[in-house]
Amino acid sequence: MAVFRNHFLPVCVLILSLSTLLTSTVSTSSTQKPSRATTVTVSDFGARGDGKTDDTQAFVNAWKKACSTSGAVLLVPKGKTYLLKAIRFQGPCKSPLTIQIFGALEASENRSDYKDKRHWLTFDAVNNLSVDGGTTGNIDGNGKIWWQNSCKINPSKPCTKAPTALTFYNSKNVKVTNLRVRNAQQIQVSFEKCANVIASNVAVTAPEDSPNTDGIHITNTQNIQVINSIIGTGDDCISIESGSQNVQIKDITCGPGHGISIGSLGDDNTRAYVSGVTVDGAKLSGTDNGVRIKTYQGGSGTASNIKFQNIQMNNVKNPIIIDQNYCDKSKPCKKQKSAVQVRNVVYRNIKGTSASGMAIKFDCSKSYPCKGIVLQNVNLQGGKATCSNAQVMGQGSVSPHCTNT
Query: Active-site residues: which are they?
Result: 235, 258
Residue type at 88 in one-letter notation? R
Rg of the Cα atoms in the chain? 27
Please give the Cα distance from 59 to 47 (Å, whole number): 7
Q: How far is CA 183 from the centre of its chain?
A: 16
Residue 343 burial (CB < 10 Å; 0-12/13-18/19+)? middle
Count the neighbouring beta carbons within 10 Å of the beta carbon of residue 326. Answer: 23
Going by C-alpha positions, the residue among 233, 351, 204 that lies closest to residue 291 is 351
In sequence order, the 6+-apart residues with CB closer than 8 A to the CB of 32 are: none
In sequence order, the 6+-apart residues with CB closer than 8 A to the CB of 325 are: 297, 333, 363, 365
Give the H or E element holding residue 28: helix 2-31
Give the H or E element holding residue 67: helix 56-67
Is residue 194 within 8 Å of 217, Cβ to Cβ? no
Give the H or E element holding residue 398: strand 390-399
Please give the Cα distance from 141 to 187 (Å, whole number): 10
Per DSSP (E only), the strands in 259-340 are 260-265, 271-285, 291-295, 300-316, 320-323
Please give the Cα distance from 172 to 162 (Å, whole number): 26
DSSP state, 37?
P
